[in-house]
Structures are given as C-alpha cells and as structure tokens.
Amino acid sequence: MADLTTDFLGISSPNPFWLASAPPTDKEYNVRRAFEAGWGGVVWKTLGAEGPPVVNVNGPRYGAIYGADRRLLGLNNIELITDRPLETNLEEMARVKADYPDRALIASIMVPCEEAAWKTILPRVAETGADGIELNFGCPHGMSERGMGSAVGQVPEYIEMVTRWCKQYYDRPVIVKLTPNITDIRKPAVAAKNGGADAVSLINTINSITSVNLDTMSPEPSIDGKGSHGGYCGPAVKPIAMSMVSEIARNPETHGLPISGIGGITTWRDAAEFISLGCGNVQVCTAAMTYGFRIVEEMKTGLSQWMDEKGYRTINDFAGRAVPNVTDWQYLNLNYIAKAKIDQGQCIKCGRCYAACEDTSHQAISISDDRTFEVIDEECVACNLCVDVCPVEGCISMVEMQPGEVDPRTGAVVEAEYANWTTHPNNPMAKAAE
Amino acid sequence: MAHGQTAPGIVSGRLSSDEIAQNFSDLHPAYEPHEAAVAADRCYFCYDAPCQVACPTDIDIPMFIRQIQAGNPEGAAQTILNQNILGGMCARVCPTETLCEEACVRETAEGKPVEIGRLQRYATDTVMAAGIHPFERAAPTGKSVAVVGAGPAGLACAHRLAMLGHDVVIHEARGKSGGLNEFGIAAYKTTDNFAEAEVDWLLKIGGITIETGSALGQGITLDGLRESHDAVFLSIGLTGVNALRAAGEDKAGVRDAVEFIAELRQAGDLSALPVGRNVVVIGGGMTAVDAAVQSKLLGAENVTIAYRRDRDAMGASRFEQDLATSKGVKIMFNVQPVAVHGNGAAAEIELEYTSGSGGDLTGTGETVRLPADQVFKAIGQTLEGAPEGLALDGRKIAVTGPGRTSVAGIWAGGDCAAGGDDLTVTAVAEGRDAAMDIHASLSA
Ligand SMILES: Cc1cc2nc3c(=O)[nH]c(=O)nc-3n(C[C@H](O)[C@H](O)[C@H](O)COP(=O)(O)OP(=O)(O)OC[C@H]3O[C@@H](n4cnc5c(N)ncnc54)[C@H](O)[C@@H]3O)c2cc1C
Ligand SMILES: Cc1cc2nc3c(=O)[nH]c(=O)nc-3n(C[C@H](O)[C@H](O)[C@H](O)COP(=O)(O)O)c2cc1C
Ligand code: SF4
Ligand code: SF4
Ligand code: SF4
C-alpha cells in the first residue's frame, strides 16, 4: 500500500491533505473534528495583531457559481481574517497541537507591514508549538484596503522584506502564501525566496463578483443593497492555480522551492495533479466547506489506490513529474499531427461535434442523411473542440498520424523529427536549424 | 353507501372519495422549479435535433429546454406555443414515448430520455398560470372562416386564422368545446379541468366565436357555410364507433368505451359513477387502455383488456400497457369476443383464441369465459356525418397537402382527415397547417 506520509519542510503529516486557512480551521472545535476525520494538517485561520479583532459583515458573505443540479463550482467570499481575539486562538492552537502531535499545525498570520508588529506576534506563535507559519499575503478584500493581505502580496519588495523579518524572529519554517491577483506570479515567488522563505503556498482567492441581482442591481453577496468584490475559490479556480504553480515550479529562479498547492482541490485526482506539477502537499478549503470534513477519506483512498496502480510508493515518487513537460508554446512540436476520429459505435448522434466544428472551427465534420457524423481528414486541424463538446467520453479521440503518412489537409508528409516554431520558416525571427 | 370492490353488478361508490381522488391525481405531476432545472440540464442541445424531427408540430425542443435552463420559462412557452397552441395539453397527453422522447439521443444512449413532455408542461403552465396569452391578432382582414368541430384540430386552426386577422366561427355539435380533450383523454392526464381552462386561454386571442350545440347536418349545411364564409375547415373527429359483431352485444352492461369515458370526464363526483365488478374491455388502443385503467381506478375488482392480436401489434404503446398492468389491469393477447352471455344483462364474456396476423387472423376454436358484468367496446372510432360531396380516402376525408379536400374552399384536418396518427398533437399540426394554407389562399 502506498505511503501517504509527507515531509514538507521537515514538518511531517500522515497525508498530504491539509486544510487551508479559512473557516474550516477557524477554531479548536473545527480543527479537532478535522483531525478526527483524518486531515493531515491545518493552517489555522489567519491571526491578526493583538487588540480588538476585526469584525465581519453581518449579512451574507458568500456568493456561488453553480453547474448542473446546483453543483457548487465556484465560491466567493468577503470574509476577513479571524474575528476572535488573538489570545483565544493561541491558547486553542497550543492545546490542539499538544493533543495531535502527529498532525501539522501551521499558524497563518497577517499583521501590519511594520517590523515591530511581526516581532511582537512571532514569539507568541512560537510558544504554541505550531510547526510553522504561513504569511497571508493573499486576502483580496477588506484586509488589503488596510495595507495588508494582497496589498502586500502585490508588491514583491514588501514580500521580501516581511519574509526576512519572519526568518529573523522565528526559527521554524516560513511559508509565504501568494495572491493570484497579480500579472506575473513568478515575481512574488522570487521575492519570497529571496527573503528566505522555506516555501510558497498558492493560490489565495481571486478578485471576483459572482453575480449581480438583476432586481436590486446589487452584486451578490449583497449587504443592504451593496456588494464588494470577494475572493473566488473552489473547482472553478483550479486551472488558474495549477498554471501559477507550474510557473513557479519551472522558473529556474524558484525551481525546487517547496510549494503547497491550493485552489479548487476537491478530489484525490486534483491533489495528484497539483503534486505532479511540483507541490509537496496540498491545501483544501472550498471542498471541505461544501461537503464537510469527511471528504478527506475519499481523497486519501483515491490517491492511495492510484499510487498503487502506478507503482508509486511515496508522494515524492511522483511529485514534480509533470513539471518538465510544461513548456512554452514555441517549443511545442509542430510536426506532431493528429486527426479527430469518431467511434461510430459509441456515437449517440447528438450532432454537437458537427455544430461546433461547422460553426466555430474548421468545417471538418460531415453529417449524412441518417445522421452519421464523420471527420473530414482534409479539413481537420485536430483542434480538439469536438472532443471537448462531445457528451460521450471517449467517443471522439485524437489519433496521431505516423511519420511517412501524408496529411490530407496539407498534402505534406508527416515528419518524424521534432520541429517547433523557433525554426519554422513562417517565423520572421526563426533561427536556422542547427 | 360504500359498495366495495367485490359488490356484484354495475354500482357506484366502490372506493371512498379520498381513494378516488388519489387514484385520479396527475399521472405526470408538474415539476418543481429545481426539478425542471435538473431535467433541462440533461438536454444536449442537439444539432438538427432528432426529438424535434419526431414532433408532429415541429417544436424547437432544444431551444425551449435551453430557455428553461436559462431561467426563461416564458420564452420557452413562446417557443412551444408558436408551433403548437395546445402545447399545454400535448405536454400532458402526447405519447412522448413513441414521439420526441423515443427519438431523444439520451434514450438511445442510456434508455433515459430527457423528459421533454414534463418540461413542456413546466413552460406552458408558467405562462398559463400567469394568465399570459403571448400572441396578438393582426389587423382585421375582413375575411371569415367557418370551422366545424371545436376539438384540437379546429381550435388550432381557429387560433392561427384569428391571429392572422381573420374572423372565425366554430360550430360545435356538443354543448362544450374541446373535443376529445374535454370528452376523451384520460382524466389523470388532464386534471383540474385543464381542457376547459386551455380553451378559455386560447380564445384570448380574440376574433373566434364558438357556437356550441350547432352541428353540421342539423340545420347547418356545408353549402350554407361556404356561402356565408370565405373558407371552411372541417374537424369533426370520429364520432361513430365500430360494431363488435358478437352475439349478445345488445345486453345491458355492454357499451362503447368512448361514451363511458365521456361520462367519466364530465362527472362532477367520480365516486357517484357506476362501474362493474368484473370489467372486460375489448380493443388494443389508447381508448381501451384508458377505459380499463379508469375502471380500475374507480374500484372495479377485475379488469381485463382482451386484444385480438399480439403485444407488438397493440396500438397502445408499451408505456400505456405497463401503466395498465401497474394499476392491476390484466391484458390478454390473441383473443376475440364471440359472445356475451347473461340473462338480459351481461354476466360473462366468451373469448376465442386467435392465431395468424394481419388480415389472416383466424379463431382457433378454443374459447374461454370470463365473468363480465360490464363490457366496453373500444375497437375503433369511425367517421360519421361527413358531408356529402367530399371524396373519401378509405373511411376518412381525403386530403392533399395541408388539408385540402376534393372541394375547393374546404379544408379538413384532425382525426376525420386521412393520413397521420389519430393523436392530439397531429390534430393540432394539421389544423395549424390548414390555417396557413387557408390564409395563403385568402391573401392571394
Ligand atoms: C379515449 C381516448 C383517449 C385518447 N387519448 C389520447 C392521448 O392520451 N393522447 C393523444 O395524443 N391522443 C389521444 N386520443 C386521440 C385524440 O383525442 C384525438 O386524436 C384528437 O382529439 C383528434 O382531434 P380532432 O380535433 O380531430 O377531433 P375531436 O377531438 O374528436 O374533435 C371533434 C369535434 O368535432 C365535433 N363534431 C363532430 N361532428 C360534428 C358536427 N357534425 N358538427 C359540429 N361538430 C361536430 C365533436 O363534438 C368534437 O368536439 C384519445 C382518443 C380517445 C377517444
Ligand atoms: C470564507 C473563506 C475565508 C478565507 N479566509 C482566509 C484566511 O483567513 N486566510 C487565508 O490565508 N486564506 C483564506 N481563504 C483562502 C483559502 O485558504 C484558500 O486559499 C482558497 O479558498 C483557495 O482554496 P479552495 O479552492 O480549496 O477553497 C479563505 C477562503 C474562504 C472561502
Ligand atoms: S478536431 Fe477540430 S477541426 Fe478536427 S473535427 Fe474536431 S472540431 Fe473539427
Ligand atoms: S458529439 Fe459525439 S456523440 Fe454527438 S454526434 Fe458527435 S461524435 Fe456523436
Ligand atoms: S434529442 Fe434529447 S438531448 Fe437532444 S435536443 Fe432533443 S431532448 Fe435534448
């Protein structure tokens, strides 16, 4: 059986599934129940400085995007960091950690961008026995307007500065949580590394308005007729998060920097994908908020089953395996030629492939009087749209042409050699092939 | 005076009013909004959708389902009603299992079609409940058209003509309009007096006058109608019934199924409606199933459908057959009636087994007797009272194209006209298409 134990920055946990800093990790009651349910670790709901805690709105704080049957695809929130006193949180963290020594417990922190503020809070966090800290540079609403959260995360110099203070005043691992609300995610990651961060975690939530109430003309969630952008998370953000993770994983400046992957992780498969893109573990928020803590059981058994099938014994056996295959467009092999192929036995004759290709692609699917749909190889550019819109999984496949065959679309012989845009004759900047 | 199911003879009150109310509740209850959303989400929005091709009125099904899915049931209703003004009734009574839903690609793929009928009902109920009639009359054309028969064909024709600006007078023999929607369709398919409500709603277009109790052939002649109107549309349905040709057919307790059903549909209190203890229905179509099922729902102890051919030849769909058996009706195949026995009133029916198919059906000589205090004949309706001078095609009025009869200026559609299945939806399609043809000829 696969061993799911993870060692992330020297912090060990029985599995790679941590709960992200958010409502699921808001208090002792939740975290104890999460650990009982089997979560490997938690990042405690973000702590603020000593003194009166922040206050949350007293109306709805979440908005949602649904798929079929009200399946929650995206969640948006305007919640702030913990609204409970620092002292209460610290006491609870210490108690929980003492009772669950084998689980990871990370303190998420967000205090003003002043050295004194960090210098004050860090020793108090250290006293709890927490395994490390995560710097919340990501929260996109409320806190950012007070010069914290993503307001810091969007300025690489601040990230580096604050990270450095933390490394100076705290002796356990420091994880920097990044905001996706930035054009180039590599910049803050490099800054975190330069500041001495042990790892980055990403993504925090994305600026979003989930819907507008067309009766009241207020964005949702609406507080007394007004709305504010919130932070978007859940399955819908996974592709964005994975792209950002991969950018950091393959950037030579940050390659090898440990990453805790976050964003839309809902099943074991999502987790496996993040880990293959270079993450050492993953964090989950929306999935737990949608289905409750029990989902971790599916994640653990699913991951374990898949690892067994693939012959991976430990998480490290496959972590980062997909990273070398993430490349720039210009390096993709232009001599790789495929054609869509419809399996008539599986086709249910809905005609979606036809509508898609005819109206918006390359007019490469024919329809006969008896509704047989066939790909016209002379026209097919292998764009994959028909595959994506076909309701029957596996009905249309992309069949790779073999070297020596003639592509009926171009009349050219398929070449065996790899050749990309950088050497393509149509590229004005093409370098002569060496 | 609860007689119970085993009381002999033809009596009322076999079940309590509550049981009867329960039995006659909606066969396919209306969707709640969430159910509709989930059902609508299953539609693939097919290209040149097979379901639409299978719909006799050619409703743009993928479009109306998408409109429901996008939270626009009013738009969905408009899409439906543009093609089929009785879309509300059709949503309830169409044998979708042999029409759109049979053709649905998800039926092919998983044996579970998109529930098009119930979605259609969801959309049409929405606008009808809101009292919206989403059509307006065009400017008056000064032309007038006579329609004979206020069933689905006549109503659909009248509505389309009225919408196009013509004045329409409908002559209806019965005291109430609606045709078989009102007098024929099973009660559990059209609950809460829907047929009448739908006619009232349809008439909101304006320009349609219905004269009930006014029958062609009784004071009104075709020539008279041709003189007083610019065109005539005949939609008189099939009001005759075939004879059984079995000994004892005239005994008390033997009657036409359609007559029983009409009485049932008009009954104010179903528990006051008498029904036999042992009911035998002769026939294999929808009428047979409806008579049998409703007898059972009224509390008959034993109900048997006796059909002379095999299951595959049966006019009622497999769904209808299963509905009947699930209610406790027994279906016997390959048997034909030879005699009704009894002393004045029916007590037993004698059936003979048959073999062969098509025209070669022959009795095997082997017979069986079933107790039968009530026998319903559901062996087909026939055209009755067709005006003289119109060419017939078989036993129906011959038509070409969109309902043109052999006489210029006279169109016909629905059950009384040759061609097409005898279904509500087909009647609507034929009425609508004839209206368009009449309009074209009046505008020429
Ligand atoms: C018991 C039964 C159940 C059925 N169930 C279904 C079902 O579930 N689904 C389905 O799709 N179809 C069903 N049908 C068939 C469907 O009802 C008919 O196909 C449809 O009603 C035909 O419409 P129509 O307008 O042609 O005729 P009808 O509905 O028969 O209307 C004809 C009208 O003309 C009137 N009329 C007749 N003669 C004259 C005259 N001389 N002068 C003036 N008026 C006249 C009649 O009174 C009647 O109102 C059923 C039929 C029966 C008998
Ligand atoms: C209601 C809510 C509150 C959150 N609060 C915090 C927070 O206090 N600190 C933090 O670092 N991230 C916070 N997050 C972000 C999550 O930790 C996580 O990064 C994000 O939701 C993406 O993961 P997911 O798609 O699994 O939800 C919050 C998210 C939600 C939904
Ligand atoms: S791959 Fe693209 S071009 Fe080829 S048939 Fe499919 S949709 Fe058309
Ligand atoms: S989309 Fe798929 S199932 Fe539909 S017609 Fe095309 S190949 Fe067949
Ligand atoms: S065939 Fe079925 S899936 Fe396709 S459009 Fe019609 S209802 Fe929708």
pLDDT score at B3? 80
Instruction: Flag if A348 and B47 touch (Cβ within 8 Å).
Output: no
Protein residue with its CA nearest to atom 6 in ligand 5: B51
In a domain, B41, yes or no: yes
Give the mean model confidence (pLDDT) for residues A407-423.
96
At A360, the pLDDT band (50, 70, 90 cuts) reads very high
In a domain, B79, yes or no: yes
- How far apart, in whole angstroms, are the C-alpha atoms of residue A94 and residue A104? 12
Residues in chain A: 434
Q: Same domain for B42 and B96? A: yes
Per-residue model confidence as pLDDT tens digits over B15-26: 999 999 999 999
At B357, the pLDDT band (50, 70, 90 cuts) reads confident
- How far apart, in whole angstroms, are the C-alpha atoms of residue B370 and residue B367? 10
Q: Same domain for B307 and B275? A: yes
In a domain, B40, yes or no: yes
In a domain, B270, yes or no: yes
Instruction: Flag if A352 and B38 touch (Cβ within 8 Å).
Output: no
Neighbouring residues of B315: CB distance < 8 A, sequence distance ≥ 6: B284, B285, B286
pLDDT score at A146? 74
Residue A61 in contact with residue A79, Cβ under 8 Å? yes
Give the mean model confidence (pLDDT) for residues A362-371.
97
* Nearest CA among A68, A63, A71, A214 for reference residue B37: A68
Instruction: Flag if A354 and B41 touch (Cβ within 8 Å).
Output: no
Give the mean model confidence (pLDDT) for residues A298-307.
97
DSSP A179: P
* CATH number assigned to the domain comprising residue B89: 1.10.1060.10
pLDDT score at B197? 97
Give the mean model confidence (pLDDT) for residues A269-281.
98
- A3 burial via Cβ count (<10 Å: 0-12, 13-18, 19+): middle
Tokens of A3: 């061993």
Residue B245 has pLDDT above 90, yes or no: no
Return the ligand 1 atom nearest residue B238 CA. 30
- How many whole angstroms from A410 Cα to the centroid of ligand 4? 25
SS3 A240: helix
Residue A145 has pLDDT above 80, yes or no: no
B302-306 and B278-282 strand pairing: parallel
Q: Same domain for B178 and B69? A: no
Q: Same domain for B340 and B254? A: yes
Segments forming the whole domain that contains residue B389: 144-239+383-443
Q: Same domain for B329 and B417? A: no
Q: Which of B37, B41, B50 sits opposite A349 (nearest CB)?
A: B50
pLDDT score at B360? 82
User: How would you write A88-106 as a 3-class SS string?
Assistant: HHHHHHHHHHHHCCCCEEE
Counted domains in chain B: 3
Instruction: Flag if A348 and B38 touch (Cβ within 8 Å).
Output: no
Share of chain A above pLDDT 90, in %: 91
User: ipTM for the complex?
Assistant: 0.86
Q: How wide is the angle at C-alpha A398 spanned by C-alphas A396 and A403, nearest 5°?
A: 150
DSSP A392: S
Q: Same domain for B214 and B102? A: no
Protein residue with its CA nearest to atom 39 in ligand 1: B236
At B93, the pLDDT band (50, 70, 90 cuts) reads very high
Residue B413 has pLDDT above 70, yes or no: yes
Q: Same domain for B250 and B329? A: yes
- On average, the pLDDT of chain A sits at 95
- Residues from chain B that touch A391, judged by Cβ atoms under 8 A, are 44
* CATH number assigned to the domain comprising residue B7: 3.50.50.60
Per-residue model confidence as pLDDT tens digits over A187-237: 999 999 999 999 999 999 999 999 999 999 999 999 999 999 999 999 999
CB contact A214 to B (< 8 Å): no
Which position among A139, A279, A285, A390 bears the catalytic label?
Answer: A139
- How many whole angstroms from A60 Cα to the centroid of ligand 5? 38
In a domain, B425, yes or no: yes
To the query of whether residue A139 is one of the catalytic residues in this protein, the response is yes
Q: Which residue has the higher pLDDT, B360 or A377?
A: A377
Distance of CA B140 to the CA centre of its chain: 32
Residue A353 in contact with residue A386, Cβ under 8 Å? yes
SS3 A74: strand
Share of chain B above pLDDT 90, in %: 95
A230-233 and A72-77 strand pairing: antiparallel
Residue A46's DSSP bridge partners are none
Residues in chain B: 444
Give the mean model confidence (pLDDT) for residues B400-415.
97
Q: Same domain for B176 and B274? A: no
B43 lines ligand 5 (CB under 6 A): yes
Instruction: Flag if A350 and B105 touch (Cβ within 8 Å).
Output: yes
Q: Same domain for B159 and B208? A: yes
Chain A residue with Cα closest to B51: A350
Ligand 3 site-directed mutation target among A336, A358, A380, most atoms within 8 Å of CB: A380
For the whole model, what pTM was predicted?
Answer: 0.91
At B113, the pLDDT band (50, 70, 90 cuts) reads very high
pLDDT score at A48? 94
Q: Same domain for B112 and B158? A: no
In a domain, B135, yes or no: no
- Residues from chain A that touch B44, judged by Cβ atoms under 8 A, are 350, 352, 391
CA atoms within 13 A on the CB side of B72: 11
Roughly how many angstroms between the first and final C-alpha of chain B, as a whole number?
65
Minimal CA separation from B120 to chain A, in Å: 19
Distance of CA A51 to the CA centre of its chain: 33
In a domain, B137, yes or no: no
In a domain, B299, yes or no: yes
- Residue whose tokens read 């592709």: A239
Give the mean model confidence (pLDDT) for residues A39-61.
93
Q: Where does a domain end: B70, B99, B129?
A: B129
- How far apart, in whole angstroms, are the C-alpha atoms of residue B317 and residue B321? 6
Per-residue model confidence as pLDDT tens digits over A103-134: 999 999 999 989 999 999 999 999 999 999 99
Tokens of A99: 């009772």
Residue A434 has pLDDT above 60, yes or no: no
- On average, the pLDDT of chain B sits at 96
pLDDT score at B186? 95
The bound ligand whose nearest atom lies closest to the alpha carbon of B396 is 1
- Residues from chain B that touch A370, judged by Cβ atoms under 8 A, are none
List Cα–Cα distances, B113 to A1, A371, B69, B101, B117, in angstroms.
43, 18, 16, 6, 10
Q: Same domain for B229 and B248? A: no
Residue A134 in contact with residue A107, Cβ under 8 Å? yes
Residue A188 in contact with residue A254, Cβ under 8 Å? no
Ligand 5 site-directed mutation target among B53, B59, B61, B66, most atoms within 8 Å of CB: B61
Per-residue model confidence as pLDDT tens digits over B159-200: 999 999 999 999 999 999 999 999 999 999 999 999 999 999
pLDDT score at A138? 74
Mutation site for B-interface testing, chosen from A70, A215, A343, A350 by largest number of B Cβ within 10 Å: A350
Ligand 1 site-directed mutation target among B210, B235, B236, B239, most atoms within 8 Å of CB: B236
pLDDT score at B2? 65
B104 lines ligand 5 (CB under 6 A): yes
- How far apart, in whole angstroms, are the C-alpha atoms of residue B195 and residue B86? 10
Q: Same domain for B183 and B235? A: yes
Amino acid at B30: A
